[in-house]
Structure 1
Amino acid sequence: MDDSRKLPRRVVASVIAAGIMSFSGVVVESSMNVTFPSLMREFGIDTATVQWITTGYLLVLSVIIPMSSYLRRRFTMRALFVAGASCFLAGTLTAALAPVFPVLLAGRLVQGVGTGVALPLMFNIILEQVPRKNMGLMIGIANFITSTAPAIGPSLGGFLVSILSWRAVFWVLVPLVAASFALGAACIRQSTTSGRPSLDVCGLIMLAVGFASFIFAANSASSAGWASPSVLGLFVVAAAAIALFCRHSLATPGALLNVRVLRDPVFALSVAGILLVQFCTLGLAFLIPNYAQLSLGIDAFTAGCLLVPGCIAGALQAPLSGIVYDRFGAGLSIIGGCVVTLASTILFFAFAPTLTGPLIVLFFVLYSLGKGANLPGNMTNGLAHLPIEHNPDGNAIVNTVQQLAGAIGTVFVSTIVASAQAIDPAHMANATAAGTQQAFLLVVVFAAAEAVCAALIFGAFKNRTRSVR
């Protein structure tokens, strides 16, 4: 797209419409975690059953998001948005009115289809229709839209459950989704021609088997243990299915996803950085409320609120980092963000035995500011480095990686904490603090690995890096 063009208002409205859909999907996902006790009581189900509200949703996303490249080539953006919004609205109403748990679960799965369409669509609109000079800003705004959801979700869910019921979580989304539907239907337009490519059914099955096995293994590991034969078997199946898909993709024209884009070192390192920072984020999102409740004796609602200032700070940082990216290039936002995230995770580890509520808020704000800089920067820089015709594949890979990080992020750290608690169950507060410090060390390792990825991008592959396409 020509750099001299101004950013059309219609495009901004299109991004906002798709962003509201993505925001709604993340809000309801994080809100539902708070409603699990209420759902268990009302429907007479156990923890393993109610967990399908999250697991089933992730499974749908893990199938739909990799299909986004094919869907983008096959259908117009407006048609995709209308279909995704219709699915999300239908799923929301189904869940809100559900008389039994299977109907509620069905509604969540249909919601997953809508979110799986809307999330990559938002970034595809940006990549195809936003002028190059505004690319960083708009990706930052897209990250701002979706980053505010984790801050709102738990507090919103707890508030609504306390004064109304879990059904209110769905009802409050109906007018928001309806407004998104109207805005997107009016503003979203096509900038490229669509065709009639055939669906790579074989590749889709391989990916579905691989991701489903991976998610099941991650969910089972916390209870059965990482060395459990069933868990190891599922991981083997996942690895084999994904390896077969990669081989299939390299040999098949028109494959579901073109994995050749990962041969580009800058894009591959950017994807690795995104995976690592998402792991750190989800790990901290589990560790902080858990530590606050079990070691500091803070109530659940207040413990969840400890994350809110950081989430808001990170969300506000995202568009600011986009402006920095557009004006000064990728290095400042990515390297600077990595330094801040690494420093904040080291502070969490160093102060773990004496953490207080104010310190937690301060350190998490620092972490979120770093993440708000490097995550949009990595995404923009990695995608901008690909040829424009490969952007849909790159976008699908980036969004899929983030969902997989969501599936496994809390499993690693929760296993470490649970192991420490099992050693000294009589002193739960001290055992939780010890396990949390060990888990913080793992988060530090992943933050350091992310910094290494950034250093390689702007070191070994500096001459291959460009800030815009």
Structure 2
Amino acid sequence: MKEKTIRLIPAVLATGIMSFSGVLIETAMNVTFPTLIHQFGLSTALVQWVTTIYLLIISIMVPFANYLLKNYSIRHLFIAANLFFIAGLIIDFWSPSFSVLLLGRLFQGVSTGIALPLMFHIILNFTPMHKRGTMMGVGTLTTSIAPAIGPTYGGLLTSALSWHYIFLFLVPVLCVSMIIGLVTIPEMTIKKTTKLDFLGLLGVGLLFSGLLLFLNQLGSWLSLIPLLIGLAGTALFYHQANRAEYPLVRLAVLKNETFRLFLFGFLVCQFLLLGISFVLPNFLQIILGKDAFVSGLVMLPGAAVGAILAPISGRVLDSVGPKKPILFGLTFATIGWIGLTILLKSPVLLGFFAGHVFYMIGIGFAYSNMMTAGMNQLSEKDYGDGNTLFNTLQQFSGAVATAIVATIINLAQIHQGNFRQGTVLGSQLSLLFLLILLIIIFAATIIHFKKKA
């Protein structure tokens, strides 16, 4: 019945284009930071709010989308998300000030916060189990490859025209997405089964905004205020998740040990993707004196490799299970990341090319398969909650990663008293911090598969 009501591949393509555009523009703006700092007179810590406010809105919207998917048709949600995105693009193309730029990013965050869970909702509910790995690979491709393509796209337009055109050139892409979706996603009757947990949504908002403000003000005693707000939001959300009749997210799925492991591993991969998309382009511009286009171009070969491997790795999982592709991927990712960390001390442009390609081979095999392996542990009734946790924490972890590396670099610049030397030190410390997270998840995954064996 389900397969007859929706044309699966073009429907995933339509939502995937929107999700891809959302994640693409997220990292496309990273290479514009030096330009924005100069144009608007901003600090490194302040300019990264172009990315942070966007990821914050997504983090709040994804749990809300779990409610929306249970109460509104996927066709209506698709149309709403597309219109929000187009509105945000037009606002940012026109934006004469930093505050207006942030307003447009807010609109785009609302759209992507609906589009991402909508895409995985379609995959999980309309794809046969024996093809799920492949389709999840295609879906996750949007969130794993776009961060690497984004800097090239943003750098090319910033160098050739202006950062404003990063937004304009995506308007026709979103129009194509709209047309495909209108043709392939039919109207479906939805039986409303839940009520909106307003207190839970408030808790999510306080949690994410408080913690992100805390990370952005790290090093100042004023950071304690947003930290307390974040902790209060965490307490409120946790209370509602366990006590409310219709919670935004049921946290019972976290009792599954395998689901928890692959969720954490997936988030570490997201940390790496967003961290390197911030560190590497800015390092190349500030230290090596490259322009925004070259800085983005360095990440393009790795992006191409990851794009090819994402669906292929899903097919491998469908054939042989999760162990081999995930461990293979984590091995390559670790080797590539170590290479990138070492190169920051004695930078060689071709070395950055090679290290990023090596690392993206690993991401191509591990990233989407971790989500698939985690979701396969759940029953169908828990897909919505599992999907929400993956997508919410994915976006929040991206915001956290960006905030942490920006804070580390900013503090190093202040501590060194020399902008260039501080950038080198901060970049090294940032990649070292992320390397430790990667090694932890690598070790935990090895132990998990040994136990299962």
- State TM-score, norm by structure 1: 0.87
How far residue 313 of structure 1 moved from its aligned partner, in angstroms, is 1.4
Contact 2:158 2:292 (8 Å CA) reproduced: no
* Residue 59 (structure 1) aligned to one of 31, 53, 56: 56
SS at match of 1:255: coil
* Cα pair distance change 1:259/1:192, threshold 3 Å: farther
Which whole-Å CA distance do the structure 1 matches of 2:357 and 2:149 have between them?
16
- List aligned pairs for 1:330-369, cutoff 5 A: 330-369=322-361
Q: Which residue of the partner structure matches residue 265 of structure 1?
A: 257
* Residue 445 (structure 2) aligned to one of 441, 454, 468: 454
* Cα pair distance change 1:459/1:304, threshold 3 Å: same
- List aligned pairs for 1:311-390, cutoff 5 A: 311-390=303-382
Pick which of 389-398 and 277-286 moved more.
277-286
**Does 1:401 pair with 2:393?**
yes
How far residue 426 of structure 1 moved from its aligned partner, in angstroms, is 5.2
Which whole-Å CA distance do the structure 2 matches of 1:35 and 1:299 have between them?
10
SS at match of 2:296: helix
Contact 2:30 2:277 (8 Å CA) reproduced: no
* Residue 81 (structure 1) aligned to one of 78, 83, 107: 78
Which whole-Å CA distance do the structure 2 matches of 1:347 and 1:271 have between them?
26
Which whole-Å CA distance do the structure 2 matches of 1:418 and 1:337 have between them?
32
- List aligned pairs for 1:206-221, cutoff 5 A: 206-221=203-218
- List aligned pairs for 1:36-185, cutoff 5 A: 36=33, 46-47=42-43, 51-98=48-95, 102-185=99-182
Contact 1:296 1:356 (8 Å CA) reproduced: no
Identity %: 37
Which whole-Å CA distance do the structure 1 matches of 2:114 and 2:205 have between them?
16
Contact 1:19 1:146 (8 Å CA) reproduced: no
Superposed CA deviations along residues 444-466 of structure 1, whole A, max 9, x for unmatched, are 21111111332243233x28xxx
Superposed CA deviations along residues 14-62 of structure 1, whole A, max 9, x for unmatched, are 00000110111122222334445666777x5645775543333222212
**Does 1:10 pair with 2:7?**
yes
How far residue 121 of structure 1 moved from its aligned partner, in angstroms, is 0.5
Contact 2:75 2:185 (8 Å CA) reproduced: yes
Contiguous gaps of at least 5 residues in structure 1:
464-469
- The count of aligned residue pairs is 452
* Cα pair distance change 1:348/1:107, threshold 3 Å: closer
SS at match of 2:25: helix
Superposed CA deviations along residues 248-301 of structure 1, whole A, max 9, x for unmatched, are 211222101111111111111111111112222222233323443444444443
How far residue 114 of structure 1 moved from its aligned partner, in angstroms, is 1.1
SS at match of 1:195: coil
Contiguous gaps of at least 5 residues in structure 2:
none
Which whole-Å CA distance do the structure 2 matches of 1:351 and 1:76 have between them?
50
Which whole-Å CA distance do the structure 2 matches of 1:423 and 1:353 have between them?
18
* Cα pair distance change 1:458/1:299, threshold 3 Å: same
* Cα pair distance change 1:264/1:75, threshold 3 Å: same
Give, as a single letter, the amino acid of the residue that structure 1 aligns with 2:444.
C
Contact 2:330 2:363 (8 Å CA) reproduced: yes
Which whole-Å CA distance do the structure 1 matches of 2:426 and 2:29 have between them?
26
Which whole-Å CA distance do the structure 1 matches of 2:222 and 2:215 have between them?
11
Superposed CA deviations along residues 314-364 of structure 1, whole A, max 9, x for unmatched, are 222111111101111111111111121122223334554334111221111
